[in-house]
Structure 1
Amino acid sequence: MKVVGVASRDRKKAQDFCNEHDCGEGMLYDEMLDRDDIDVLYVPLPTGLRNDKIAAAIEKGKHIYSEKPMGGSIKELDSLIKACKSKGLQWMDGTMWYHSIRTKEIEQKLRKKVLGEVQRVSASFTFKAPDEAWLQGGNGRTDKSREPMGCLGDQGWYPLSAILWAFGWIQPEKVMCSHVTFNKVDTIVACSGTLWFPGNRSAVFDCGCTAPHRSQYEIICETGTIRCDDLVGGQKRSGNFGAYETPFVGSSEYVQGDVMGKDQVITVDPCDHVNLLVDDLATCIRKIKSGGEPDDDWPTRYACNLIARFTCARCNFSPTKARLLPRLNFSQGWLQGFVTWRQIFQMFAAVQFKRLGYLSLDNNERSQFQARELKSVYVDVVAQFLRIVFHKCHVNRYNALNQVGLIALSCLGEVLNTSDSDKDSAVPLPAVPAPTPTAPPMVTAVPAATVAPSAPAVPPIKPKEFLVPARHTPAPVEIPEPPPAPASPKTPKTVQPPIHKVASDLADMDETKYDVKTLERLKSLVLEKQKSVEAEDYGGAKRCKEAIVMLKKTGLRICELEEQKKSAVENEEYDVAKSLKSEIDRLRHQCEGVEEKETKVEPPPLPQEEVQKPSQPSPPKRTPPNRSGSLRSDVGMGPSKEDDPEQSDYQ
């Protein structure tokens, strides 16, 4: 086989490379595809760009030698391999270790079951990133725009391919990644997991660029073991990385152990993995030119990727004390065909969901907003997607903006049978409770401090867990799903300031620009201002407004100083950091003083007699004619919201 040339987006760069390595002519991509004297293309482009060029090469009748891993979806890979076969073209991937003499000898032992059935496999491929910039996206392996699966796609290809090869290319029944590490550009840089295979057999793997160099696998059979410590490169545990830049000469031994644990080092002829790969590819192409068929074994190995379709299983919810959620709706659905994660949001409309039930959560008032609620739910259905709808929140003084907050939400599941992976249509779903077809699905809105009925999919909860002392307990209201209907006109009026008023006051407040303490003070002042307006205490409302303006200005200044202090500490300018800290403390003390001053503003005090006995009007003869509280006593008004904290809490 002869190298004809190298293609690039820049003809000059391609020609310079060819001149340096004496490998033919430099050309553009389209020029290479149009050449009739080229039989096979080696495609080492980044994973995110590779498929388009492969598809174009197949269309032009070129055999494919593709680097790994494959980009796109399983369906996309399947279409490319089928296109190759329909045109009588050979597909081979760049997994070089398959072709070594050592690999083929071990493969014969495994297929003939010399040591019995394979029971367990452990495999690893790791190395340490050379520097922090490399780790944080400075290399194609650590930049998801070039390698969508990061180190799982690149380094993970070797241990996962070793596992599938050892088990004879059967698909696992279940897959779980137990640990994943991402870098600053949201790319996988370390990963480990477990695979379960038929017959109560399993495998574990780990990969990434955050650990010392390891390139190994161990196969545990019924009566012995096989261990290889230099899967890629074949240089044993010598620390010699020359094989990664020079011919892969090595792979000359492996260790075989018996049932008693006695190891034997078995030697084979050393070889160059890549040369043997190219020889195997040339043999396949010569066979096709002689009238034969493409070898299906190589594309089958390449297509044996791990397809993880998960069952919706268990979810843990923990609402915070200030952002409380009364109810979650669960639905499951199936998406036609295979898609990439990038396409999921674009194709979400194609998912058909069926309602499963709902989960009600306490409003935490009984614990004075200190408790956190943890619930686990088992959803026994088969699906690709679990939709969780967050309904109307409990609105109280800790959640004035009607926000949702979840500390933890984890979904665990099991993969489907592999027989379903080739179906183009949706997999039939188990029967689930469904509403009558003549009416839209109905759900029950659960206002704060009410008891909600349980759905069949969720174990019933004792009503006493949801009972909270209240002056008014409105009945559940039936409304169409998904959006909750507005509150009934009969719902008792709450003393909580209207949400739209509070939201309008905070509309221009970017929470990311203030520290936590300043933000809490601002929200407190906004609520105090609304209470003053409702009580027609316009003087107090004005003072709150002025304090809000001052706090916003001071809060922004505090954030600016915090950034300067952080920069000073990083540069070891500790005197500057000390002075900045003093200024920050002064501004925070100033903010605390303003808040204390404003929150102490109260309406004029009532007469002493009325304060002591607010429910008993004083006789007219004991009320001085010029007292400010006489009008209230004469008309028999009850205590205000500020006088009755219980009413303020529960009305």
Structure 2
Amino acid sequence: MINWHGLDIKKNGDRATKQNISVFYIFVEEYIFNCLIPLHLYCSTKLCRSTKIIVHCFFFLLFPQINSVFSFRANEDFLENDIRVKPDLDALGALGDAGWYCIRAILWAVDYELPKTVIALRDPVKNRAGVLLACGATLYWADGTTATFSCSFLANLTMDITLVGTNGTIHVTDFVLPYEEKLVEFHVASKSNFNDLHTGWDPLPSKHVVATDLPQEALMVQEFTRLVQGIRDAGDKPEGKWPAITRKTQLVLDAVKASIDKGSEPVEVAS
């Protein structure tokens, strides 16, 4: 039986050692952090045959643009004591936390193709210890695709990603955590224009709502247990998808940090 609290880890007889349990929880934590966004975005965009919508809007576009924002207003205790603001603990600050989600969402939108170059936005905000509290960057692909993201511990709670193409726009306003646990939504605007008197839009964007049987965290655990069960019961090899996506996210994040450290100079993304 696979379960969240142990996955039947066995060593030294029938008892799991503390070390095995610790390693297991570290693995689970990494899995949670790395697969939550794709699962939420997948749930948000699979309704109403949205694959066809996305193909229509984006696969035949010229010079697409992607914009992502993740911010939350941290309280004073967080800004003084949280590990994410300590240079000897999580020295990447807002970039390593909220920025990771932005980068991952952008990569999801381009089918995980790495950008060629990144340029950090100027004047990032740092605390007294030099840890990033707010920053951003623009990512550039060889085919003309561009993406910009901003992340912050100092601004109102915002979780937006917008994809703009020649034929349409997709907008998700809760791409990290949904407004409601079992309900996610996104908006699509297709071939938008002004109305006759230039007083509004024609046609109006459409709202698509996804009702899910399980929240994204449960879907994440379901996927995790499926992968482990495949290895344990069917002799499957470890899934390569999540490590590959994680590595690409880290490569982009590292390039952004390097650009920040170099005063917003362009930095090529390693492959």
Alignment TM-score > 0.5, same fold: yes
Shift in CA distance, 222/306, structure 1 to aligned 2, threshold 3 Å: farther
Which one-letter code corresponds to 2:208 in the other structure? Answer: I
- Listed as ranges, the gaps of 5+ residues in structure 2 are 7-15, 194-203
Shift in CA distance, 205/412, structure 1 to aligned 2, threshold 3 Å: closer
What does residue 286 of structure 1 align with? 229
Q: Distance in 2 between matches of 1:285 and 1:141?
A: 30
Q: Deviations over 1:242-289 (max 9, x none)?
A: xxxxxxx14421101112153000111134111110100111111122
Q: Are 1:414 and 2:266 counterparts?
A: yes
Q: Distance in 2 between matches of 1:184 and 1:96?
A: 32
Q: Deviations over 1:7-60 (max 9, x none)?
A: xxxxxxxxxxxxxxxxxxxxxxx932347xx9x8122xxxxxxxxxxxxxxxxx
Aligned residues: 239
Shift in CA distance, 168/144, structure 1 to aligned 2, threshold 3 Å: same
- For the pair shown, the structure with the greater C-alpha radius of gyration is 1
The question of whether the paired residues in 1 share the 8 Å contact of 2:44 and 2:185 is answered with: no
Q: Are 1:98 and 2:32 counterparts?
A: no
- Listed as ranges, the gaps of 5+ residues in structure 1 are 6-29, 44-63, 68-90, 237-248, 311-339, 342-383, 385-409, 423-651
Shift in CA distance, 171/95, structure 1 to aligned 2, threshold 3 Å: same
> How does 1:219-368 map onto structure 2 within 5 Å?
219-235=163-179, 249-260=181-192, 262-270=204-212, 271-289=214-232, 290-304=234-248, 305-307=250-252
What does residue 116 of structure 1 align with? 58
DSSP 3-state at the match of 2:220: helix
The question of whether the paired residues in 2 share the 8 Å contact of 1:230 and 1:251 is answered with: no
Residue 97 of structure 1 and its aligned partner are, at CA, apart by: 2.8
C-alpha RMSD of the superposition = 3.1
Which one-letter code corresponds to 1:171 in the other structure? Answer: L
Shift in CA distance, 103/302, structure 1 to aligned 2, threshold 3 Å: farther
DSSP 3-state at the match of 1:42: helix
Q: Distance in 2 between matches of 1:296 and 1:108?
A: 26
Q: Distance in 2 between matches of 1:111 and 1:299?
A: 29
DSSP 3-state at the match of 1:268: strand
The question of whether the paired residues in 2 share the 8 Å contact of 1:123 and 1:159 is answered with: yes
Q: Distance in 1 between matches of 2:109 and 2:100?
A: 14
> How does 1:380-529 map onto structure 2 within 5 Å?
413-416=265-268, 421=270
What does residue 155 of structure 2 align with? 211
What does residue 90 of structure 2 align with? 147
The question of whether the paired residues in 1 share the 8 Å contact of 2:45 and 2:186 is answered with: no
Q: Which one of the candidate residues 161, 169, 189 is aligned to 2:133?
A: 189
What does residue 3 of structure 2 align with? 2
DSSP 3-state at the match of 1:116: helix
DSSP 3-state at the match of 1:134: helix
Q: Deviations over 1:45-90 (max 9, x none)?
A: xxxxxxxxxxxxxxxxxxx3243xxxxxxxxxxxxxxxxxxxxxxx
Q: Distance in 2 between matches of 1:168 and 1:301?
A: 10
Q: Distance in 2 between matches of 1:192 and 1:309?
A: 12
The question of whether the paired residues in 1 share the 8 Å contact of 2:118 and 2:255 is answered with: no
What does residue 157 of structure 1 align with? 100
Residue 112 of structure 1 and its aligned partner are, at CA, apart by: 6.5
What does residue 199 of structure 2 align with? none
Which one-letter code corresponds to 2:85 in the other structure? Answer: T
The question of whether the paired residues in 1 share the 8 Å contact of 2:120 and 2:264 is answered with: no
Shift in CA distance, 198/253, structure 1 to aligned 2, threshold 3 Å: same
Residue 144 of structure 1 and its aligned partner are, at CA, apart by: 2.4
What does residue 19 of structure 2 align with? 33
Q: Are 1:42 and 2:43 counterparts?
A: no
Which one-letter code corresponds to 1:415 in the other structure? Answer: V
Q: Distance in 2 between matches of 1:309 and 1:157?
A: 12
Structure possessing the higher relative contact order (Cα contacts under 8 Å, 6 or more residues apart): 2
Task: Choose between structure 1 and 2: higher helix proportion.
Answer: 2
Q: Distance in 1 between matches of 2:109 and 2:57?
A: 12
Shift in CA distance, 164/3, structure 1 to aligned 2, threshold 3 Å: closer
The question of whether the paired residues in 2 share the 8 Å contact of 1:128 and 1:211 is answered with: yes
What does residue 568 of structure 1 align with? none
Shift in CA distance, 155/226, structure 1 to aligned 2, threshold 3 Å: same
Q: Distance in 1 between matches of 2:51 and 2:114?
A: 21
Q: Distance in 1 between matches of 2:70 and 2:32?
A: 22
Shift in CA distance, 184/110, structure 1 to aligned 2, threshold 3 Å: farther
The question of whether the paired residues in 2 share the 8 Å contact of 1:92 and 1:299 is answered with: no
What does residue 70 of structure 2 align with? 125
Which one-letter code corresponds to 1:140 in the other structure? Answer: I
Q: Distance in 1 between matches of 2:53 and 2:112?
A: 11
Which one-letter code corresponds to 2:205 in the other structure? Answer: D
